[in-house]
Chain A
């Protein structure tokens, strides 16, 4: 299994570890791990746009992606939008439903991860954690369907091109 798959499995294990009296730390780590499972799934594929064979280099490229940019890109795609500079003029874009769903899940899981990792005043329920793991599972399934599409490659390319592409066209 790959690291993202292992992380997703680990997230499920943490969320279901102690059904009767779950420990907050396990539930928080479950949500955070579900987010990182999706984050790594996408950034590994984004790195492979540039580097196919050199795994060490691909790993370095994957580490260069920025969480905030991924969230901004995901928000654009989930709202049926492309970055400004590559947006077709006078034509509305229709993002593949599966890709929109992945993008939406990414944004939501990132928000959930912030809550789980930093907002210690909020008690997390086991089923809330489970539902976020389920969201990551859905995102994995959807990504498998759409990852070969041009739109998915464009989505991945935006991770590194966001700052220059999110400007009005010249």
Chain B
């Protein structure tokens, strides 16, 4: 629960980021958007932004490198907020300048443009981490995964997984379908291992279908 709570707390602090569309069309949240958003107000500069943080939860969701970055950023942020009143913080300019890059780093690592909600993060991120540690060759043309959760038509919990394929894999309809047929069972099995209580609903798009992502591609992790 605490990882979900932490994710939600930071997401609330990053309210400047509007998704810009339903999954999988969320606009990319890059360094400029984060920096501009955090400069527009200092409402985020409170210890409440780190509610739910528990360092022991982190290993499950991040690579060792990203884990260290996240822990470091949270520690920096908490060091600034510790002396401040959580409900009426009156930070100095120096405190703001110290905390802003730390929170920017945390927001960057939590990837709100890939995970639409905290359940999507806890399930999806574990899937992504598992794939990164042992990448199946069939997934070579899978550029990115995006996740959101909700209830299915019967009211049971589901997770919607959006696989984004490379332009090469999408060159023809036949190639595209062929790739989806190879990738889908792998994602399906993995999702069942990670979160047995949710039905997975997997859809695929080409990188060319994503709004505003014509040229830049990102790795799955």
Residues of A whose CB lies within 8 Å of any CB of B are: 15-16, 19, 68, 71, 75, 78-79, 101, 104, 107-108, 110-112, 114-115, 122, 125, 127-128, 130-135, 137-138
Question: CA of A25 to CA of B5 in the docked complex: distance in angstroms?
Answer: 41
A79 to chain B minimum Cβ distance, whole angstroms, is 7
Residues of B whose CB lies within 8 Å of any CB of A are: 22, 152-154, 158, 170, 173, 176-178, 180-181, 184-185, 188, 192, 196, 199-206, 209
Question: CA of A75 to CA of B157 in the docked complex: distance in angstroms?
Answer: 13
Question: CA of A128 to CA of B196 in the docked complex: distance in angstroms?
Answer: 24
Contact A111 B203 (CB under 8 A): no
CB neighbours of A15 from chain B (8 A): 173
Contact A128 B205 (CB under 8 A): yes
CB neighbours of B206 from chain A (8 A): 127
> Across chains A and B, which 8 residue pairs bring their CB atoms closest together, nearest first?
A134-B177, A131-B204, A114-B153, A131-B180, A128-B203, A138-B181, A134-B180, A134-B181
Given contacts A71-B154, A127-B205, A131-B176, 5 further A-B contacts (CB under 8 A): A108-B200, A111-B152, A125-B209, A137-B181, A138-B184
* Known A79-B192, A125-B209: A130·B184 in contact at CB below 8 Å: no
CB neighbours of A110 from chain B (8 A): 153
B21 to chain A minimum Cβ distance, whole angstroms, is 10
CB neighbours of B199 from chain A (8 A): 75, 107-108, 111
Question: CA of A19 to CA of B127 in the docked complex: distance in angstroms?
Answer: 32
B26 to chain A minimum Cβ distance, whole angstroms, is 14
Question: CA of A111 to CA of B200 in the docked complex: distance in angstroms?
Answer: 10
Question: CA of A135 to CA of B177 in the docked complex: distance in angstroms?
Answer: 8
Contact B177 A133 (CB under 8 A): yes
Q: What are 22 A-B residue pairs whose CB atoms fall within 8 Å in the complex?
A: A16-B173, A19-B173, A78-B192, A104-B188, A107-B199, A108-B201, A111-B153, A111-B199, A127-B170, A127-B176, A128-B205, A130-B177, A131-B184, A131-B203, A131-B204, A132-B203, A134-B176, A134-B177, A135-B180, A135-B184, A137-B177, A138-B181
